[in-house]
Amino acid sequence: MYIYRVREKIWVLRPILTELILVPGYKMNRWILIFAALAAVAAANNSGDKIIMCYFGSWAVYRPPGGKYDISYIQPELCTHLIYSFVGINTEGNVVILDAWQDLPDNWGKDGFGRFNKLRELSPTTKTLIAIGGWNEGSAKYSDVVANPTIRARFVKNVVEFCLKYKFDGFDVDWEYPNQRGGKPADVQNYISLLKELRTEFDKHGLILSAAVAAAEPSASLSYDIPAMSKYLHYINIMTYDFHGAWEKVTGHNAPLYPRNGESGNDLKLNVDASVRYWLDSGCPREKLILGVPFYGRAFTLSDSNQNGLGAPIKGPGTAGPYTREGGMLGYNEICESFKQGGWTIVRQEEHRVPYAVKGDQWVGYDDVTSLIEKTNYIKSMNLGGGMLWSIETDDFNGNCGEKYPLLKTLNAELRGGVPLEPTRPTDAPNPSNKPTAPTTQPPVTSPPNGICKKAGDFVRDEKDCNVFYLCEDGGKSHRMTCPSGLVFNTNTNTCDYTAAGCN
């Protein structure tokens, strides 16, 4: 990768150097030219050679006014890589388009894939990828596909064809997680086989292969052979967030940089620094490790508003925001707009190096410009490959609290040596739609009603609410999931759909 970047930068410098040679009376031998070029490359590499990997949650196009986010709003020059989320998988090894109306141009669709990839016309150096998976996809289908060499090979072929057909530069594997959530121990090595086979075919077409991975040791140690997977991935997007949330019994920060006094056991591993050091110590190359930062916070409802620090008892998730409409999660845009209304007390946790805020019985731990500067300094001090963000549509993209994209521009200023100028933006806006919003919450492990789970990996629809379904795990436990508003869980296809038997 480094050699490629050096070659690319020398090529960019070539017209300048040629111009110098052609200046009348200007004498410079080729060694001086080479040293000048290498010095310029070194300066560029030190100041602006970090990756900024931007995930885009495509369901944000269905959010209410103020939070609705169209593809045309993306400023691609602020990202070295843009990742469209998500597509799915089925047990036959096919890539499944989850929202054909939004993603494709057929039948008067919105052509999301095409419009997303067209952003490269505004920023030719930006690469576009398509992500498969996500939290709501679970693990069972991936486990089945990678366990069968024939189906796995079919999936690899389908992925390559998908990327070429829709003109993506690469593919991001967001399997959450091998050997967990309905998976099995064999997933760990089968995952390596998948990555190896994908990389072999990707190299034939110049495609990029990346993966989003669990960050903390307690989870990552169950899922990954880190030295082996590092051989095949161009980038490893470590999800250093969701360390704490309303699935627990007390307040905890979404993405602390370091541990704090009073933590013990596994809690000492639930922070950015511990996670990064685990991955590096386990064999992940520094230049491939891309540090994840959240453009959202985790919110709680306190049991007692007078007990409102870290580790305070909670009743449950915080109140849903007006745009994301998901209890326990607030986009940064929702947080900063709420602050403008007043009444919040903001506390900077000096050990964690991140802020949290309290108003009455509402508590939220989040990242802001100050904490992102600390994290970008950490990326540079650890010589990591760059930063990844989830996700671009919850930054303050409208500039309601100040400058547009304050978080994303902070990453650019700190990792790439400056903030690119904002070009002229398209003025077209998406048509109003009553189509649903897809949730991204990490729900707690719960017991489904009436003991309906028979075996791990099963999907079971709630008996009283067709919008709710459960992913069964060992021991009769399950993860409660919710279909996007307006959809119901179809037991024939094990997917969220517009209609299902008995749930019209």
Please provide the DSSP assignment of 205-249 as one string: HT-EEEEEEE-SHHHHHHH--HHHHHHH-SEEEEE---SS-TTSS
Domain with CATH 3.20.20.80 in the chain: 50-296+367-415
- Candidates 229, 223, 196, 225; CA nearest to 211 is 229
Q: What's the confidence (pLDDT) of residue 9?
A: 35
What span, in angstroms and rounded, lies between the C-alpha atoms of 333 and 339?
A: 10
Do 199 and 171 contact (CB within 8 A), yes or no? no
Q: Which helix (H) or strand (E) holds 374?
A: helix 369-381
Nearby residues of 6 by Cβ (< 8 Å), 6 or more positions away: 41, 45
Q: What's the confidence (pLDDT) of residue 49?
A: 83
How many helices, marked H, and strands, marked E, lie in the chain?
Answer: 13, 21
- Candidates 407, 115, 2, 261; CA nearest to 10 is 2
Do 181 and 138 contact (CB within 8 A), yes or no? yes
Q: Which helix (H) or strand (E) holds 170?
A: strand 170-174
Q: What's the confidence (pLDDT) of residue 179?
A: 98
3 state DSSP class of 183: coil
Active site residues: 176
Q: What's the confidence (pLDDT) of residue 485?
A: 47
Q: What's the confidence (pLDDT) of residue 421?
A: 41
What span, in angstroms and rounded, lies between the C-alpha atoms of 313 and 340?
A: 27
Q: What's the confidence (pLDDT) of residue 429?
A: 34
What span, in angstroms and rounded, lies between the C-alpha atoms of 133 and 178?
A: 12
Residue appearing with tokens 């929702």: 334
> What token pair was written down for 208?
């990029």
What span, in angstroms and rounded, lies between the C-alpha atoms of 295 and 353?
A: 16
Do 468 and 461 contact (CB within 8 A), yes or no? yes
- Candidates 474, 470, 475; CA nearest to 444 is 470
Residue appearing with tokens 């709680």: 300
Do 138 and 179 contact (CB within 8 A), yes or no? no
What span, in angstroms and rounded, lies between the C-alpha atoms of 63 and 325?
A: 9
3 state DSSP class of 494: coil
Q: What's the confidence (pLDDT) of residue 467?
A: 72
Amino acid (1-letter code) at residue 143 = S
Integer angstrom CA distances of residue 421 from 73, 78, 128, 165:
15, 9, 21, 32
> What token pair was written down for 88?
């799915």
Backbone angles phi, psi at 203, to 5 degrees: -65, -25
What are the respective helix, strand and coil percentages of the chain, to the nearest 5?
40, 20, 40
- Please tell me the CATH code under which domain 50-296+367-415 is placed: 3.20.20.80
Backbone angles phi, psi at 298, to 5 degrees: -100, 130
> What token pair was written down for 140?
């069972």
Determine the straight-line distance between the first and last CA of the chain, rounded to whole angstroms.
52
Rounded average pLDDT per 10-residue block, the chain, 504 residues:
32 31 36 36 50 98 97 98 98 97 94 98 98 95 98 98 98 98 97 98 98 98 98 98 98 98 95 98 98 98 98 98 98 98 96 98 98 97 98 98 96 83 37 33 47 72 77 64 59 55 59
